[in-house]
Amino acid sequence: MRIAALLVAVLVVVLPRIVTAQNTTNFPHIGHVDRFSDELDGLIGKDAVIEVLCGGFDWAEGPVWVPERENKFGGFVLFSDIPHNAVMKWQEGTGVSIFMQPAGYTGVADYGREPGSNGLALDKAGRLVLCEHGDRRISVLTPGGGKMTLADRWNGKRLNSPNDLAIRSNGDIFFTDPIYGLPQRENDPMREIDFCGVYRLQSDGTVTLQSKALSRPNGIGFSPDESTLYVANSDGGDPVWRAFPVKEDGNLGEPRPFFDSSKEDRIPAGGGDGLKVDVNGNVFATGPGGVLVLSPRGELLGRIVTGERIANVGWGNDGSVLYLTSDMYLCRIQTKTRGTGSATR
């Protein structure tokens, strides 16, 4: 582990001095994979390793793969560094650079510890959609390079701080809105909504509250057939991932418990952060100690462990590579499955 740490240090970057050259593909390996069920072997090979691609970030989040068809230089990963108010770009053979700064807060005063963007996704047109903490909105990066607000209010009240999002194939954006981006969080005097909600944003700009049943809704993702929406709760007092049925009109029904970490003795109890789903309905959910791999039945199959906290994950390349934003690192692991959702469309 000490040797791995020394190798990782070689790749560490500091935002004011971004490394833009990369002449190696021999990335250092860290962590391990816990295997709690033989089913995991069909999803992650026994020879799979966790590669550290770059590091030196304050808190990396929201990785999304931008496929080659959207640019002429090959695919790349975009991810947020929330405290630095930046979206970063990592590309094989090139390295890491700042893609956008500011990314989530465009004001002139200090805006607390987490001003930047959080969850990122591509819409069906291939545009980058961002959850912005500081500007408290869902935005989209237009083809000309400017941003456009998609939603910043519900019932005339400003959102708390949009956290993560999932885009349905019809273009509807479902997003979570906890309080983590507010400078004083739940006690912030700028807060206008007294709960943390799950919302639906339709193409005509209509924002509807879908649920306020979760105390701290966070990561969010659809099942392959889009009949179920999974939502993580990042509250350690209620460490339960919920499964919401999607009704025929596109709204959510009442949720059911999907996975409760407090009832699983192989991992510590704790809330969840980001999540993604594969084509067979397995949920890759960041949680206690790493990425929890959950079957469609809500059974814990295994855990991807980097040794650092993992905020979020995203499918990339041909859909079989899972990218991990793990505290100060961007990592990846090769899987034997493929992801579903906007990252691989």
Confidence bin at 68 (pLDDT 50/70/90): confident
Q: Is 22 a residue whose pLDDT tops 90? A: no
Q: Is 164 a residue whose pLDDT tops 90? A: yes
What confidence tens digit (pLDDT) does each residue in 248-296 have? 999 999 999 999 999 999 999 999 999 999 999 999 999 999 999 999 9
What confidence tens digit (pLDDT) does each residue in 106-163 have? 999 999 999 999 999 999 999 999 999 999 999 999 998 999 999 999 999 999 999 9
Residue 118 is assigned to a structural domain of this protein: no
Rounded mean pLDDT of the chain? 91
pLDDT score at 341? 57
H helical segments located in the chain: 2-11
This prediction has a pTM of: 0.92
Q: Report the largest interatomic distance among the alpha carbons of the chain, rounded to a whole angstrom.
A: 55
Give CA separation, 291 vs 213, 224, 270, 340, in Å. 24, 19, 12, 17
> Regarding predicted confidence, which is higher, 27 or 203?
203
Residue 314 is assigned to a structural domain of this protein: yes
The enclosing domain of 244 has a CATH number of 2.120.10.30
Evaluate whether 121 touches 165 at the Cβ level (below 8 Å). yes
Confidence bin at 18 (pLDDT 50/70/90): very low
Q: Which domain holds residue 245?
A: 2-73+163-178+192-344
Q: Is 19 a residue whose pLDDT tops 90? A: no
Evaluate whether 270 touches 262 at the Cβ level (below 8 Å). no
- For the chain, what percent of residues have pLDDT higher than 70? 90
Residue 184 is assigned to a structural domain of this protein: no
Residue 298 is assigned to a structural domain of this protein: yes
Residue 186 is assigned to a structural domain of this protein: no
- For the chain, what percent of residues have pLDDT higher than 90? 87
Residue 138 is assigned to a structural domain of this protein: no
Residue 275 is assigned to a structural domain of this protein: yes
* Burial class of residue 228, CB neighbours in 10 A (0-12, 13-18, 19+): buried
Confidence bin at 175 (pLDDT 50/70/90): very high
Q: Per the structure, how many domains does the chain have?
A: 1
Residue 145 is assigned to a structural domain of this protein: no
> What's the rounded mean pLDDT across residues 64-77?
79
